[in-house]
Chains A and B, each alone.
Chain A
């Protein structure tokens, strides 16, 4: 499935750890590995990645693989234009088949509020050079003839949005990082972090210790565990998000389709499966721990929404369902940069349901921050200290799922 990539060692439980590194990255998801890869490209810093389980075990191995420029906020649109541009050459750069397919994202608005969101976004996208077009329901049918568009008021389509297969993406970054000298140690958790005069000491589940000048908390929805143990209070929290995959079908569905009214999204992977998720109603109070259970209630909700918008899916068979953790940030913006009160510990968390698509650009900008002190414009609003300063503002209204 991964094609004939160049043979590289992936991370392993047997990888030998140095006793001290410049940067220790906790978490072997897409954020940690993309950052490690970019650090190895632009610096000679000594870097180690520590992963508690195997490399695609977190959200990065459980997501829908959707990538889009169609956001409601200028900064996010610009960032995603950069990320998608990077994806074009990435398969070659990483030497692995990413199954990247630009079939576009088709947003459907069935309410007046949805309609005005799409109209406003399209103006923004136009100004920034993203090729989003507004379509009538009838025009949307030309792109996806199987839709029921009877109550669609407006649609928006961007042909450069697309999907990837998440697993090889993670392996690709890991393989390249390892071949460039990064140590990637799996099946090893960071249990405790201790402050030293000249750095931080990581106590590992294997009984080993690793000292580092600086440490990156790239543990996604698990980040609050480590942060709390250090007295760092950040307001992100884990949220279980379910998803499913169908039997494989011949290619017929080009774009990823989003129904704004229900939060339903579905796409066809390059492997032929329909991959779909939805916003679940009445989910109760915010969770404090990661929960990876699957429910029948989810399949029923999803089934109702999907068979309504695309009736022929009533015959489609579900092969498997699973869930993964969203790492929800209360203002919809990620949490990236030095921690309040502990500047040697950097955060890269709070990416909610869109961290995968942002990871190419985020790994690069974070590597530049760590290696060269360069500050990408997004770092201002992503500052972990904004919450305690009272400077958090919600700018984005296109968060799905």
Chain B
């Protein structure tokens, strides 16, 4: 295996860092996201989620039949604030 394998390319999380977090006792998708930062970049986990989960399955830490991805956060795709602001019906500012 190459010296540095990246699990999450947006946030530069390596396999070594992931294994380090697992050694500390963490095993759940949500907590590993919040310890390593994996899945919090521009792709929002679309790339790294499956890598993370297959690694956890391989290490016997999660049950492949029940494991869930971390909560998907809106918006589905990045949207500009300008477009979002335009979606507000006109109302007087309080």
A residues near B, CB below 8 A? Answer: 1-2, 7-15, 54-57, 61, 167, 171, 175, 186, 246-248, 262, 271, 281, 294, 296-297, 299-304, 306-307, 313-322
Contacts and interface: CB of A to CB of B under 8 A. Distances in A.
Given A7-B24, A8-B24, A300-B87, A2 B36 contact: yes
B25 A11 contact: yes
Nearest to A2: B35
Given A1-B13, A12-B25, A301 B88 contact: yes
8 contacts: A1-B11, A12-B27, A14-B25, A302-B84, A303-B88, A318-B80, A318-B81, A319-B78
A299 B84 CA distance: 6
B41 interface: yes
A382 B17 CA distance: 42
Contacts of B87: 296, 299-300, 303
Q: Which of A9, A167, A262, A281 has the most CB of B within 10 A?
A: A167
Contact of A321 (B27, B73, B93): B73
Nearest to A1: B37
**Ranked 10 nearest A-B pairs via Cβ:** A314-B82, A1-B37, A303-B85, A12-B25, A320-B73, A317-B78, A303-B84, A300-B88, A54-B31, A303-B81
A314 B44 contact: no
Nearest to B37: A1
B94 interface: yes
B74 A294 contact: yes
A7 B20 contact: yes
Contacts of A8: 24
- Determine the main DSSP class of B at the interface with A: loop
A316 B31 contact: no
Nearest to A281: B94
B84 to A, nearest CB: 4
Nearest to B23: A7
Nearest to A294: B74
A307 B82 CA distance: 7
B30 interface: yes
Interface in B51-92: 71, 73-75, 78-88
Q: Which of A14, A313, A319 has the most CB of B within 10 A?
A: A319
Q: Which of A1, A61, A247, A296 has the most CB of B within 10 A?
A: A1
A303 B82 contact: yes
A124 to B, nearest CB: 27
Nearest to A168: B35
B3 interface: no
Contacts of B11: 1
B15 interface: no
Interface residues of B, number: 38
B44 A55 contact: no
Contacts of B4: none
B24 to A, nearest CB: 5
Interface string B10-29: 01110001001001111110
A317 B79 contact: yes
A295 B13 CA distance: 30
A1 B40 CA distance: 11
Given A10-B26, A304-B85, A307-B85, A320 B74 contact: yes
A15 B25 CA distance: 9
A167 B88 contact: no
A318 B13 contact: no
A46 B17 CA distance: 32
Given A7-B20, A321-B73, A315 B44 contact: no
Contacts of B82: 303, 307, 313-315
Given A1-B17, A248-B41, 9 more contacts: A7-B20, A10-B24, A12-B25, A167-B34, A296-B74, A317-B81, A320-B40, A321-B73, A321-B75
Contacts of B13: 1
B74 to A, nearest CB: 6
A12 B74 contact: no
Nearest to A318: B79
A54 B21 CA distance: 14
B25 A9 contact: yes
A246 B40 CA distance: 11
Nearest to A11: B25
A84 to B, nearest CB: 24
Contacts of B31: 54-56, 186
Contacts of A57: 30
